[in-house]
Amino acid sequence: MKILELTLDGLTGLLKKGFGKGLFHASALYREVYQRGNRDIAGIPEFKASQTFAKTLEKQLIIEPGQVVDAFRENDLIKFITQLSDGLKIESVLIPMTGRNTLCLSSQVGCRMGCRFCETGRMGLKRNLFVSEIIGQIFNARFVLKEKIKNIVFMGMGEPFDNFDTVMESIRIMNEQKGFDIALRHITVSTTGLTGGIEALGRLKMKGLRLAVSVNAPDDKTRSFLMPVNHAHSLQALKAALEAFPLTRRECFLFEYILIKGLNDSGSDAIKLAEYIYPLPVRLNLIPLNPVKGFNYESPSDDDMLRFSEILTSQGVFVVKRWSRGRSVAAGCGQLGLTC
């Protein structure tokens, strides 16, 4: 019984089917595993009167989050490497923010999207992660690194919509109140703009779940150069999918824009980007390029980044400048995969 792959409903169903037990025991077990990292079922108060059942369950319970084999720190930021049961490795990044740690999760081992500015893209796709391996990253952050997690972002290795059903099931699990209890509005799924995934997510109506899109260029020519996915999912198709997405009045999309000196950082790029964004409700994260092997471009100067940002702001775009964190441990945007 792989509990890290189960919603509370799923666990309740298994206990009912296998043992004739129900929500009472399932809730207690779920709480102990997800909130305390406890594997001692016989010691759980709700199991005191059912010790034979508890012992049988202990033998069947599988908790396989993967093994944390390395961790790198830059101030409070931690990048940790998890070795999976088949020996492959993934990276996750814990980003401290006052009182609310954010955990950047991987959804695949490698990635087949091939974005030029990204180390993971150079690895190619090795395989999709299982639900337990996605949930395992939170489990390890919580009970191995002993960190509390408030926010989740699917911005690690992989394109989440390329492993859609698994990612959605893992979101349902991390959202369980008896479990990690991470609110949907604290979970962000970031995509390169796979329009089918955006449409499928819209149909699920997971209210509050945040959608981020890696945009990175204001025109198809530059974007296709940076992100081959743009050949199949052009900027126009992407915008149409976003316009049809069921946002509530208070929600907005997060756009990510990696600024690259001389490639997508001119004044006219900023104007074109603002025109593209209008009238979508967007918060735009500007991120300076992090160094990546084999991609011979540079990040812009702070002044250039400021100038680009000011043009966007003057056009009515809400901009957040994200100065790079985690570069020294290759944990910055686009750098994951170097240590796998």
Number of Cβ atoms within 10 Å of the Cβ of 80: 23
* Of residues 93, 92, 101, the one with CA closest to residue 129: 92
* Closest distance to ligand SF4 from the beta carbon of 110 (Å): 8
Total residues at the site for ligand SF4 (CB under 6 A)?
12
Q: Of 220 and 310, which CB lies nearer to ligand SF4 in the complex structure?
A: 220
Q: Of 142 and 325, which CB lies nearer to ligand SF4 in the complex structure?
A: 325
- Residue 135 CB-density burial (10 A; 0-12 exposed, 13-18 middle, 19+ buried): buried
Among 152, 157, 182, 284, binds ligand SF4 (CB under 6 A): 157
Q: Please, which of residues 266-285 interact with ligand SF4 by CB under 6 A?
A: none
Active site residues: 333
Question: Helices 131-143 and 164-174 meet at what angle, rounded to 10?
Answer: 40
Among 27, 120, 222, 335, binds ligand SF4 (CB under 6 A): 120
Strand ranges (E), the chain: 67-74, 77-83, 89-95, 102-104, 108-110, 125-128, 151-154, 187-191, 210-214, 253-259, 282-288, 318-321
Strands 187-191 and 67-74: unpaired
Residue 113 interacts with ligand SF4 (CB under 6 A): yes or no? yes
* Closest distance to ligand SF4 from the beta carbon of 159 (Å): 4
* Closest distance to ligand SF4 from the beta carbon of 247 (Å): 22
Piece in contact with ligand SF4 (CB under 6 A), picked from 56-64, 155-163, 199-207, 284-292: 155-163
**Token reading at 216:** 């990175």
Residue 213 interacts with ligand SF4 (CB under 6 A): yes or no? no
**Cα(148)–Cα(290) distance, rounded to whole angstroms?**
27
- The binding site for ligand SF4 (CB under 6 A) comprises 111, 113-115, 118, 120-121, 157-159, 192, 334
